[in-house]
Amino acid sequence: MIKQTAGQTTQKFLVIDDHELVLNATVNALQQTYPAAEISTAQNAYDAGQLVAMLHPDLVLMDLSMPKTAVDLEGGRPEVGIQLLRSLLESYPTLNIVVQSAYAKALVRLKPMINAHEAGFTIADKSLPLKDMLTKVDWALQGLVCTPREMRTGLELKPEWLEVLKLACEQGLQDKAIAEKMNVSERTVRHYWTQVQDALGVYPETGKNIRIQTEKRAREEGLID
């Protein structure tokens, strides 16, 4: 899976973490997997904001806990990371984002913004091994959405996503036709698909067709007849 996106044209990553050791480990792991990628780093929210505006990275990999500026006496704290994430989601709808955090629950309130985000968005639990993080990076680069189960209250779908499911599975329409019918772009339909997949907890597995998996899960949940 990982090899799919690795080593293509020069990709630009920005890694944000206020702990130098963790930062180095993350950068090393990323550099090994994506040898051609240009990787920049930031240790506080201010620098991160500036770098994103300057570099237009393909992907931001960020910790939630961070200080506001290089001289922030209060040190790293999750509110700062949440504020940064909020502004990234607001200003860069096509930026792929991976959030590395142990406090996924703090992100619940941003769920509506994440739902509206048009690019990849994944959350990697910091306590899991690096391999898991690399998978989440890969998914985010593919434009997938993956949020942990704690962020949802059971099965939660936006009405538009449900409509995409119904048009695809009950009427057998292709994305293009769905887009026409719903009066949105094809890109938006694809974005709805990734959100539906996340809501149903369907993620890429080697050798399996994700759309078919999604349809299967939707039937199990009774979303479609």
Partner 1 sequence: MRKTLRQEWNVWRVGALPGLAIIALITVGRLAGTLQYLELIAFDYMLRFRPAEPTDERILIVGINEADIRQAQTYPITDAQLAALIRQVQQYQPAAIGLDIFRDLPVEPGHAEFVQVLRSSNLIAIEKVLPDTSGLTINPPAYLPAEQIGFVDTVLDFDGYVRRNLLGTPNLQGEYQFSLTFRLAEKYLSQRGIPLSNGKRDPRAMRFGEIELTRFTANTGGYVGADANGNQVLINFRSGYQPFRTVSMAQILAGTVDASWIRDRVVLIGVMSLSEKDIVNSRALIGRNPNLVHGVEIQAHALSQILSGVLDGRPLLQVWPEGWEYAWIVLWGILGISLGRWLRAPFLILLGLGVTGVVLIGLCYGLLLLGWWVPVAPALLVLLANGAGLTAALFYRHEQNLKARIQERQLVIDQTFTAIHNGPLQTLAILLRTVQDQEPSQQFLYGELQKLNQELRTVCESVQQEAFSQENRFRISQETTLDLDSPLREILYAVYSDTVRRDLPNFKTLRLKLPTFDQMDDPYLTIDQKKGLCRFLQEALCNVGKHAQGVTRLEVICKQENGKNMIRVIDNGTAIDSTSILENPALTARGRGTEQAESLARQLGGRFQRRSNSPHGVICELIWPVVKPRFWRFRSSESANRI
Which residue among 157, 167, 179, 200 contacts partner 1 (CB under 8 A)? 157
- Is 222 a residue that touches partner 1 (CB under 8 A)? yes
Round to whole Å and give the CA distance between 126 and 91. 26
* Pair of tokens at residue 131: 């391999």
Query: Parallel, antiparallel, or unpaired: how do β-strands 38-42 and 121-125 relate?
Result: unpaired
Give yes or no for residue 36 binding partner 1 (CB under 8 A): no
139 burial (CB, 10 Å; 0-12 / 13-18 / 19+) is buried
Q: Are 23 and 15 in contact (CB under 8 A)?
A: yes
Q: If binding is defined by CB under 8 A, does position 14 make contact with partner 1?
A: no
**Segment contacting partner 1 by CB under 8 A, of 5-13, 52-60, 154-162, 166-174:** 154-162
User: Which of 111, 190 has the CB closer to partner 1?
Assistant: 111
Site for partner 1 in 178-207 (CB under 8 A): none
Q: Which of 6, 80, 110, 134 binds partner 1 (CB under 8 A)?
A: 110
Residue of 36, 53, 54, 108 that binds partner 1 (CB under 8 A): 108
DSSP annotation of 66 reads B
Report CA-CA distances (Å) from 29 to 43, 64, 84, 92, 128.
18, 19, 24, 26, 14
Segment lying near partner 1 (by CB under 8 A), choices 36-44, 62-70, 140-148, 149-157: 149-157
Name the residues that contact partner 1, by CB under 8 A.
108-113, 115-116, 153-159, 162, 221-223
